[in-house]
Amino acid sequence: MAKTNKDARPKARLPKGLRDIEAAELRAQNAMLDKIRGVYERYGFEPLETPAFEYTDALGKFLPDRDRPNEGVFSLQDEDEQWLSLRYDLTAPLARYVAQNFQTLTKPFRRYAVGRVWRNEKPGPGRFREFMQFDADTVGTDSVAADAEMCILAADTMEALGFERGEYVIKVSNRNVLDGTLEVIGVTDRRQQLAVLRAMDKLDRLGIEGVRELLGPGRRDESGDFTRGAGLTSEQVTIVLHQLEAAYDEKTTFDNKVQENLSSSRLRNEGLSELVEMRRIYTSAGYDDGQILINFGVVRGLEYYTGPVFEADITLDVKDEKGRPVRFGSVGGGGRYDDLVARFTGQKVPATGFSLGVSRLQAALTALGRTGSAAVGPVIVTVMEKEHIADYQKLVQTLRSSGIRAELYLGNPKKFGKQLEYADKRGSPCVVIQGSDEREKGEVTLKDLIEGAKAAAAIKDNKEWKETRPAQVSVKESDLVSEVRKILARHKS
């Protein structure tokens, strides 16, 4: 008989930039999604699910070229040799859906969506190629009230997830203000414009002086690496920084501090007017206690947004297990994107939306210890006599029929200690035991594993353990459900 070629076996390995998500994290994630969904539903948004794949030209943001069809997205060709790509966000599929169903949709169209997205980018620490987003969007209205509502929605969602006032902030800016500032200082080259906007976007991380360096010749960081700057003159840098500082001082009335020559930009003035109106709306709704603040350091999608933009930031100081500071920063964002549907229709269709990064939010909640307690495992019905396996299965079904999570031990029943070890590893609150003596009496023995572990830690003498048999009780088989419920209630917290 020929030997098996071991080299032909596939290697058990994860694709680069992807990860497995196990039970505890999944449960915490589902609990978090339920809270977010509750807020979005309360605001009147309706659920919509679009497919993971779209025709690549419909996605629009990372259109593949002939030589590199996978640039930015994961792509493949179907049997008709048309390119398909995995969605890189939930907004581009929404734009396709709205364009395809525009005539029949109730407008404004309000939808929320949750799902995984994929980006063919270089992975790094905490940066994966597959992650989850939770979006809410309003399509078909150019009212700035829709943008203000998105900021209020973001604040309510953060508080529903357990963040208190002062632990988060929804920062608001407007791309027209930023583009108008570039217009005033005479920066028309697109590369230089992007360099200026990227520098402004680093305000929270680098502070005013760090941004000043990036707006000018460049900046050398602590490691010695040099980042080339935008190359602005000192006069241009002064104007841009004045714009940033106008909103950086949180409670200050921003428009009183802006230089006089900035007022010459019609585009910038339109953006400021929208921000003033947004602030009037969210303030009148009671969101004037630091939850929502204007900050011109918010840039977001450089080629994507057309008006108000906003970010949800965590402001808490968090430390990792080694005591090092961890900055989570932005965990969500969005803004107005009036040109996305127009790619399909040729007509402007106003839209605004907000997207939460579920994975990043969950990482923050985990670091803060706010993901809740671990789920209690199933009640384990042990097997004392293999020939009575049907009787044990009946006990399991009795528990399940009463809404109690339960399972039958399906491993080798010869060593009873292994069954208890299995129950411990599964996080079981108790096990059900029935030998021949219990069966003849119509009884079962319930062993409370949580109380048993506490008692075992307190009892040093093995003889005392055997005599007292803590947290173990025999009950009538007819009382199985009620007695197990008592144990579960005892450990509910």
CATH number at residue 393: 3.40.50.800
Per-position b or e across 241-251, b if 16+ CB within 10 A of its CB: bebbbbbbeee
pLDDT given at position 29: 93
- pLDDT band for position 329 (cuts 50, 70, 90): confident
The mean pLDDT of 368-376, rounded to a whole number, is 77
Residue 399 contacts residue 481 (beta carbons within 8 Å): yes
Let me know if residue 397 belongs to a domain. yes
Does 250 score more than 90 pLDDT?
A: no
- Is 70 exceeded by the pLDDT of residue 68? no
- Is position 465 within any domain? yes
Mean pLDDT is lowest, of 128-137, 141-150, 177-186, for 177-186
Q: Specify the pLDDT at position 252.
A: 42
Task: Return the percent helix, strand and coil in the chain, to nearest 5.
Answer: 40, 20, 40
Count the neighbouring beta carbons within 10 Å of the beta carbon of residue 224.
Answer: 6
Please give the pLDDT value at position 251.
44
Confidence of residue 460 (pLDDT cuts 50, 70, 90): low
pLDDT for residue 386: 92
End-to-end CA distance of the chain: 59
Model pLDDT, residue 184: 87
Do residues 139 and 108 touch, judged by C-beta distance below 8 A? yes
The pLDDT of residue 197: 86
pLDDT at 244: 80
Measured CA to CA in angstroms, residue 422 lies from 344, 375, 415 at distances of: 57, 16, 11
pLDDT at 465 over 60: no
Cα–Cα dist 361/367, whole Å: 10
Task: Answer yes or no: is pLDDT of 399 > 80.
Answer: yes
Domains identified in the chain, total number: 1
> Residue 351: its pLDDT value, please?
97
The pLDDT score that the predictor gives to residue 70 is 55
Q: Above pLDDT 70, what percent of the chain?
A: 86
Residues 6+ apart with CB under 8 A from 348: 338, 339, 342
Split at pLDDT 50, 70, 90, the class of 258 is very low
Q: Taking residues 439-451, report their average pLDDT.
A: 93
Those residues whose C-beta lies under 8 Å from the C-beta of residue 288, and which sit 6 or more positions away, are 282
Task: Flag whether pLDDT at 71 surpasses 70.
Answer: no
φ, ψ (nearest 5 deg) of residue 396: -60, -45
* Structural domain includes residue 56: no
Asked whether residue 66 carries a pLDDT value surpassing 60, the answer given is no
pLDDT of residue 404: 95
In this structure, what token pair is assigned to residue 359? Answer: 């994975």
Query: Mean pLDDT, to the nearest integer, of 348-359?
Result: 94
Does residue 225 carry a pLDDT above 70? yes
For residues 204-219, give the mean pLDDT. 89
Does residue 387 belong to any structural domain of this protein?
A: yes
Could you tell me if residue 30 is inside a domain? no
DSSP-assigned beta bridge partners for residue 447: 431, 472
pLDDT, greater one: 222 or 326: 222
Q: Is residue 286 domain-resident?
A: no
Cβ proximity of 229 and 214 under 8 Å: yes
Q: Which structure tokens are listed for 40?
A: 């979005």
The DSSP code for 122 is -
Tell which wins on pLDDT, 190 or 100. 100
pLDDT band at 444 (very low <50, low <70, confident <90, very high): very high
On whether the pTM is more than 0.85, the answer is no
Say which residue the tokens 């048999």 belong to: 469
- Which helix or strand (DSSP H or E) is residue 273 part of? helix 266-284
Residues in the chain: 493
Whether residue 12 lies inside any domain: the answer is no
Omega prior to 108 cis, within 30 of 0: yes
pLDDT of 27 over the 70 cut: yes
Give the CA angle between residues 71, 195, 137 to the nearest 5°. 60
Q: Is it the case that residue 170 has pLDDT exceeding 50?
A: yes
Q: Spell out the alpha helix ranges (H) of 66-189.
A: 91-100, 144-160, 175-185
pLDDT score, position 105: 96
Rounded Cα–Cα distance for residues 52 and 115 (Å): 9
Around Cβ 441, how many Cβ atoms within 10 Å?
Answer: 12
Q: Which domain holds residue 477?
A: 379-490
pLDDT tens for each residue of 77-122: 999 989 999 999 999 999 999 999 999 999 999 999 999 999 988 8
Residue 472 lies in a domain: yes
- Residue 168, classed as helix, strand or coil, is strand
Helix axes 175-185, 190-200, angle to 10 degrees: 120
Residue 245 has pLDDT above 90, yes or no: no
